[in-house]
Structure 1
């Protein structure tokens, strides 16, 4: 869509008011990393915000790229674990779903619920520009993957590990059969103390692999109970039967755990413990509507791919029974090109599968990307 003058002025105004703003037009972190807490895994380019229409891959593009079925699927409850409040979340979700012809998902029709970490409608936590953008990306991607799914957003008081662990438990208590976590922190003793909150009988837990390339493994994605979702760069390919192509996203997270034992279902040989990621999907140039940044803008991050996969699990009808182990015995589209070592083109891992995509399993894209719902 063409950028309107109103859209440009609106974006410039928001950039002037938004946290961490600068004159640099390149992507920036919605939630800059801070020690001792998790951070959301979204980057965005605010000066590209448009008032008059989407910029980036939308729900229709993702449905085409991943060969999603025409039927909407079951009404699975998908939980979103997040920090801080997103005051305009329901309105932004409505704009997204209207744009792509998806059925309404509102408080009034029972499809959309937003609560605090105790599960109450109020009081809600303080608002955060960056975390609210993350929430908007989360609910948009669940919607794109599963238009019929109900969404429960549980907002933590802070991005501290204890508060986020409580949001996880609350989402499950409120009926979520899949819970998406689009945040992370470097694995270590402090976050791993809350590992048990990311394992619930009859629930599938999904988490972003990180947005820092090949580095220390990201928590909670590194947990063996969690489906760790990496990122790809999606592009049209008219010459192929699929019509699309993917490569490893240059910033998508991967890593070899220093703490978590090697799961029995993971057989890669150059990491003696848990390897991240398990699976991947598009994580770059994703269209969302976020009014606080001027309207439509493209967002990036494995915080897009994790809720998208969570939505697919919900749509498959196998929420709860789908677990990380099962992915390794299923059918996905193998991603064989790209690296998440942006600076060294694979030098960081010596050209190894830990940071370079290739045939079969590799850490940036796991076992591959969704092929309809067959892998779930």
Structure 2
């Protein structure tokens, strides 16, 4: 995947986060007058109302570099670098000036809880549950950045001192941590903030692998489980290989634990470990407000033929018994989905290796921790269960995403959304927690 998608907005447009309030007011006037930026392929449509016809349109950069060795994984975080997001359009419509580095620049906790019917559960549930985040390398500012995010949104404090937050290396040590990496640090900020947004009462365990190899990341998954996490989010992936079946048994076969994995950001095509038969594979959507009774709408996240949510047939992993679609003889990606389009992205606070402040992020890296946190709101999985199975028994408790595609596959459900199960969005997105409860 390319590190940046080509900018197609007018060359005189300044990067979104650097514009002054006055400059944005002028841009907002054009947006609301119907002279907004051209739509990106697959980008979410702006919310209806006030005659606005603009669509979200952004440029973004992958947080992590491409792997340069076989067996290495890449994080799926995408940081917005310019353009106009759905959040910008909504603020303009409400008469607010453009956010800058001192204020949030994407969807926050109340937005996500509203979109996925989680406000009641987020207020009452999650206490005592531990959601683990598995990533590579160290983010030295993880705890302080998390504190900034939670403080701004009025979420309960989550620190090492009060027992809510814990950061360890892949062997469980709190002092022997891997080397720092600014790209993966952005991924970690995104993951921590998404868990906080959806399950503010949950404890958070951050396990940092020594490197981005599948063996080290897999060992970190095992460490997270050994430390008591019942929900483990993995926002990374790489090419499938003949070793995947052995990785399944070594790292991902954890009955009674909900393990979520990003489906990938390279469009149609399966990647590992999203293709593991033991995990909940999480696809990505474009999310926007609308005038429906839900108040939100979603479509498949797709920027181009090589940039969008992943989906497809595994080449190696066996099909789990609860997956019954007929287009793949082996495992089909994905199972469920959540917001991932950078143009309809989420707000994240980050300070390591970048100017400290608020950023907008997307990628299926956002979707995986969101779903892990929803599982946590749903309660502890029963011993011996495989939580990846739960949504298949509760399809009516999901928002069925029926529009958009992420590539070319002859019009098949494997790359094209439709009623019921499809590859890019799986069974759909959360509508409360019922579909994620055993």
SS at match of 1:287: strand
SS at match of 2:371: helix
Q: How far did residue 192 of structure 1 move?
A: 4.2
| Matching residue of 2:202 | 149
Q: Once structures 1 and 2 are overlaid, which stretch shifts more, 316-325 or 141-150?
A: 316-325
The one of 117, 125, 131 equivalent to 1:67 is 117
| Matching residue of 1:20 | none
Q: What's the CA shift string for 1:9-44, capped at 9, x where partnerless?
A: xxxxxxxxxxxxxxxx82111112214201100111
Instruction: Give yes or no for contact 1:281–1:309 (8 Å, CA) kept in 2.
Output: yes
Distance in 2, matches of 1:27 and 1:191, equals 31
Matched, 1:357 2:417: yes
The one of 337, 340, 347 equivalent to 2:403 is 337
The one of 14, 20, 28 equivalent to 2:61 is 28
Matched, 1:253 2:315: no
Q: What's the CA shift string for 1:205-249, capped at 9, x where partnerless?
A: 11111001101x211111111000000000000x20001000011
Instruction: Give yes or no for contact 2:17–2:82 (8 Å, CA) kept in 1.
Output: no
| Matching residue of 2:289 | 236
Distance in 2, matches of 1:319 and 1:144, equals 21
| Matching residue of 1:44 | 79
> Is there any run of 5+ residues in structure 1 with no aligned partner, and where?
7-24, 342-347
Q: What is the root-mean-square deviation in Å for CA atoms of aligned residues?
A: 2.0
> Is there any run of 5+ residues in structure 2 with no aligned partner, and where?
1-15, 22-57, 84-98, 303-307
Distance in 2, matches of 1:359 and 1:47, equals 34
Query: Mapping of 1:194-209 within 5 angstroms?
Result: 194-196=247-249, 197-209=251-263
In the alignment of these two chains, the number of paired residues is: 351
Q: What's the CA shift string for 1:28-75, capped at 9, x where partnerless?
A: 111122142011001112468942111111111001111114323132
Q: Once structures 1 and 2 are overlaid, which stretch shifts more, 320-329 or 361-370?
A: 320-329
| Matching residue of 2:276 | 223
TM-score under structure 1 length normalisation: 0.89
| Matching residue of 1:85 | 138
Distance in 1, matches of 2:194 and 2:402, equals 24
TM-score under structure 2 length normalisation: 0.77
Instruction: Give yes or no for contact 1:40–1:134 (8 Å, CA) kept in 2.
Output: yes
Distance in 2, matches of 1:174 and 1:208, equals 22
The one of 404, 412, 427 equivalent to 1:367 is 427
Q: How far did residue 339 of structure 1 move?
A: 1.1
Query: Mapping of 1:12-23 within 5 angstroms?
Result: none
